[in-house]
Structure 1
Amino acid sequence: MRSFIEKNNKDLICPFCGSLARTRRLWSILKTKNSIKGNLLHFSPSRSVYRILKKATTINYYSSDFEDEFLADYNFDITQINQENETFDTIICYHILEHIVNDKAAISELFRVLKPNGVIYIQTPFKDGDIYEDYSITSPKEREKHFGQNDHVRIYSAEGLKERLEIAGFKVDITLFNDVKKDLYNGFKSPEIVLIATK
């Protein structure tokens, strides 16, 4: 294993760029699948990926954060994205949808602004079984108790989110990464699920 710093939750931080395990995996996927191209929309970007993509001269990089908590150049509301139809070649939507009450509107918008043959990378916390959501739970304390974080509104299952994406028109692949030895060396989480959706 390389010299990563282990957090209390067992996540591994890079001491050089500050990236989390899921961020390093995302970057590896983007490079492997040649998805750093054209118009790229990135919601609530991590600093490490933002810095790299912001400097890239071969893409049009749209970094967005609705609540001004991340480095970003736009403030798109994911349920009403202020862009034309079929604008983006690649969309990164990592740990966003579990915060959105009207996730079906958000998914519809993601489909609308993605180009034909475009790809979107989606990750949230996942659980087994069905999606767990209860819109009567509104207080931060109760949301943390039920959903694991005080600003989360549901916990998805991978299959449940896949179904919601497919209803909107996406083709979805649930990708499971589970090469423990290789993942440990690279500072990735293992096992880890990423949904890769295409239009």
Structure 2
Amino acid sequence: MYNNFKKIIHTFLPKKTLFKIEPNLRFLWALFYRGSKHECAVCKTNLRAWIDFHKDTICPNCGSLSRDRRLWQLIEKKYLKEAITVLDFSPSRSLYRKWKKQNVLYKATDLSGDFISDNQYDITSIPEAENTFDLIICYHVLEHVIEDLLAMKELHRTLKPTGTLVVQTPFKEGEIYEDYSIISEKDRLLHFGQEDHVRIYSVEGLKTRLTQSGFEVEVHQFSEDDLIHGLTQNEIVLILKKRF
């Protein structure tokens, strides 16, 4: 039902219009899901159920996926402070709207145009000064970037010496798998799991590249399966600080 409704809305409404009215549409949709079994970490709505969506769960009120809820829970507990400077690459709409309600200097950027953003920064050439940001969020971005080492150097350059970089990508066991001769959407979907991905990282492979780029890397694996807050088991998030 949700998927069919989404297809109809996307057919008749331009993307910008949809982004603008989406909170009101979701508020009405979420009325059917109100309850006391779950709580969304992003919008704090109490729900009787999540919406099932492609092996994940969506909050009917704000549209957050499980990884969005985990990310915001982590940020709220450890990194959210007044007046910090934040750079967020291709944020989910739920988190973009959440950030805009905080007392922080928040810059959202998306080069593709598929997300709500204030800027269109190329992650391999970020037009910001050195040591600018207290917090940089790079969630499900690096697997899209061919020159990922250059992107990592730019993230290192623009992060403050006391700042934090939060990174997540899809992961596989073993070694990093990348092959730049694979260029068609069909073949990338087959090899990398999505039409616009150029590699699949392993945890250790990504950690090695980030370490070589000047970061201290902590790998956090969340073992719990938190159904109340819609969080998934064994999710991996990398927390980085500048080493030099």
**Smaller-chain TM-score bracket:** over 0.9
Equivalent of 1:51 in 94, 97, 106: 97
Name the residue aligned to 1:4.
50
* Amino acid corresponding to residue 143 of structure 2 in structure 1: E
1:148 to 184, 193, 214: 193
Matching of residue 125 in structure 1 with residue 185 in structure 2: no
Aligned partner of 2:126 in structure 1 is 81
Q: 1:36: how far off?
A: 4.6
Residue aligned with 2:62, SS: coil
How far the C-alpha of 1:189 sits from its partner, in A, is: 1.4
Aligned pair partner of 1:39 in 85, 90, 103? 85
Provide the C-alpha distance between the structure 1 equivalents of 2:241 and 2:227, rounded to a whole number of angstroms: 29
SS of match in other structure, 1:186: coil
3-state SS in 1 of match to 2:100: helix
Q: Which runs of 4+ in 1 moved over 4 A?
A: none
Q: Secondary structure of the residue that 2:154 maps to in structure 1?
A: helix
Letter in 1 for 2:238: L
Query: Under a length normalisation based on structure 1, what TM-score does the superposition of the two structures give?
Result: 0.95
**Greater RCO structure (CA 8 Å; 6+ sep):** 1
Provide the rounded CA distance (Å) in 2 between the counterparts of 1:36 and 1:96.
Answer: 25
Partner of 2:216: 171
Over 3 Å counting, the alpha-carbon distance change for 1:70 and 1:36 in structure 2 is farther
The structural deviation recorded for 1:155 is 0.1
8 Å Cα contact 2:224-2:232 kept in structure 1: no
For structure 1, the 5+ residue unaligned runs are none
Choose 1 or 2 for highest CA Rg: 2
Q: Which residue does the alignment assign to 1:190? A: 233
SS in 2 for 1:185: coil
Give the AA of the match of 2:55: K
CA-CA distance at 1:67 after TM superposition? 1.5
CA contact (8 A) 1:30 1:36 kept: no
TM-score by length of 2: 0.78
Structure 2 residue aligned with 1:28: 73
1:75 and 1:5 map into 2 onto residues whose CA distance is 31
Q: Does 1:15 find its partner at 2:57?
A: no
**1:51 aligned counterpart, secondary structure:** helix
Distance of 1:36 and 1:190 partners within structure 2: 28
The more displaced of 87-96 and 46-55 is 46-55
Q: Which runs of 5+ in 2 are unaligned?
A: 1-36, 39-48
* Residue in 1 that maps onto 2:180: 135
User: 1:178-198 deviations in whole A, cap 9, x for unaligned?
Assistant: 112xx1221011110001111
- Give the CA RMSD over aligned residues: 1.0
Quick check: 1:35–1:90 contact (8 Å CA) kept in 2?
no
- Report which stretch shifted further, 27-36 or 144-153: 27-36
Q: Distance in 2 between matches of 1:35 and 1:91?
A: 12
Residue in 1 aligned with 2:111?
66
- Structure 2 Cα separation of the partners of residues 34 and 96 of structure 1: 21
C-alpha deviation, 1:5, in angstroms: 1.1
